[in-house]
Amino acid sequence: MCLPGTIEAVREDLEGPGVSRRALLAGGGAAALAAALPGTAEAMAPRRSRRRSTRVTDLTHTFRAGFPVYSGNPPARKTLVSIEKNGFYAQEWTFGEHSGTHMDAPGHFVAGGRLVTKLRPQELLAPAAVIDIRARAASNPDAAVTPDDLRAYERRHGRIPKGALVLMNSGWAAKVNDPAAFKNADAGGTYHFPGFGLEAVDFLLRRRAIRGIGVDTMSLDPGNSKTFDVHKRLLGADRYGLENVANLSKLRPRGATVSVGVIPWEEGSGGPCRLLAFG
C-alpha cells in the first residue's frame, strides 16, 4: 500500500520535486532539532491521529581495541594511570581516523575537499531514510543498493526528503565482533560485503539532494570494489559518508533525525563519531 502522494513523488523522479511538507513536530526535543536543521520537519512529523514521545537510538558501535578496519592497524589502547596507584583513571589510544563507527569527510578522497573542521553544524543533523537490503545481502555478500531499492522504499514510505542521510541496512553489523567474517576476504584478499551502487548514489545526488549516505559495513562501496567509485562520486559532490553504522534494525525506515557527533579533528579527513537517532 502506498502512502498518499507517493506515486506522484516517484513519477516526479524525472520532473523535479513537488511534495508538500507537514507542519506538526513531535515534542519539544523534536522541535529543537527541526529548528536547528531546515528540512527535518517533514521527517519528524508524526501522524495527527496519535502522539508519541521521541525515542533515541544509538547507531554507534563500542569503540574498542581490535575493531576491524579496512586497512592499517586496528585501534589499540593502554592504561596510563589507575585509581589504585594514581587516584584517577585514564587511557591512551592509538587508532586511525577511519576506525569504528566513523565519518568520511569530502577531503578523504578529494584533494582540497572539505575536512571535518569545515563541516557546518547544521550539516550534522539530517532526516534518516533506512534502505533495507538484508534479504538480498543474506544470499549475496556483494549486494549493492540500487535505484530500484530506492524506488521501492519510496513507494512504501514516501519520498526521500531533501537533505536526508540515506542509510543502508544490510544486516552486516551482526558480524562486527568477528573481524574475519566482517571483512569476508576471499583467497586473493578481496573483501566481500554490501555497499551502495554508483547508480543509486547518482540518483540520490541528482534527484534527492541528499546530505550523505551511511552503511553498516566498512566501506561505502561494496567490499569487492577496486576503484571506490561511490566514495569518489559522493565525496566529490561535497557530501559525507558514514561507515560501520550500528543498530539500523532498531530504526524506523522513516521519521528519525540523526545527529552526527564527529569531533572537529585538526586537518581531519574523517573520524570516529557518536551517531544518535531521534524519533
Q: What percent of the chain has pLDDT over 70?
A: 81
Taken in order of first residue, the domains within the chain and their CATH numbers are: 6-65+95-278 (3.50.30.50)
What is the mean predicted confidence (pLDDT) over 111-136? 98
Q: Are 99 and 107 in contact (CB under 8 A)?
A: no
Check pLDDT > 60 for residue 1.
Answer: no
What is the mean predicted confidence (pLDDT) over 57-63? 98
What is the mean predicted confidence (pLDDT) over 234-252? 98
pLDDT, tens digit, 9 for 90 and up, residues 188-223: 999 999 999 999 999 999 999 999 999 999 999 999
Confidence of residue 27 (pLDDT cuts 50, 70, 90): very low
The overall average pLDDT reported for the chain is 87
Q: Which are the catalytic amino acids? A: 108
> Does the pTM exceed 0.95?
no
| DSSP letter string, the chain | -PPTTHHHHHHGGGT---PPPP----HHHHHHHHHHSTTHHHHHPPPTT------EEE-B----TT---SSSPPPEEEEEE-HHHHSS-EEEEE--TT-SSEEE-GGGTSTT---GGGS-GGGGEEEEEEEE-HHHHHH-TT-EE-HHHHHHHHHHH-PPPTT-EEEEE-SGGGGTT-HHHHH---TTS-----EE-HHHHHHHHHHS--SEEEESSS-SS-TT-SS-HHHHHHHHTT-EEEESB--GGGS-SEEEEEEEEE---TT-SEEEEEEEEE-
Confidence of residue 54 (pLDDT cuts 50, 70, 90): confident
Confidence of residue 12 (pLDDT cuts 50, 70, 90): very low
